[in-house]
Amino acid sequence: MSPPLGVAGISHPIVAQVFPEKTAIGLQLNVPILNGFATRGRVQRAKINQERAEIQLKQAELDLERNVYQAYNDVKNAIKS
């Protein structure tokens, strides 16, 4: 999200009569300083969520591997009996 940007011009009748060749134009940029802290917090939470998802994926892979070995051993033991 871009910070708000405003443009202002000054046009007062008395000033225009005294200084007809002078024009004043201003530019205003508002940057919310505290927004940086909120953004930093969101980035940190996103990194933590990514790490959590990677750990959950690894755990699912380990669970699958364990289940395959357990099924294999169950079949071997069934054949022996």
Ordered DSSP codes for 1-43: -PPPEEEEEE--HHHHHH-TT--EEEEEE---TTHHHHHHHHH
- Chain segment 6-17, per-residue pLDDT in tens: 545 555 555 566
What one-letter code names the amino acid at 13? P
Q: How far apart are CA 4 and CA 35, in angstroms?
A: 13
Entry pTM: 0.53
Q: How far apart are CA 25 and CA 71, in angstroms?
A: 78
Query: With the C-alpha atoms ordered 7, 11, 15, 21, is the resulting torsion angle positive or negative?
Result: positive
- Chain segment 49-81, per-residue pLDDT in tens: 999 999 999 999 999 999 999 999 999 999 998
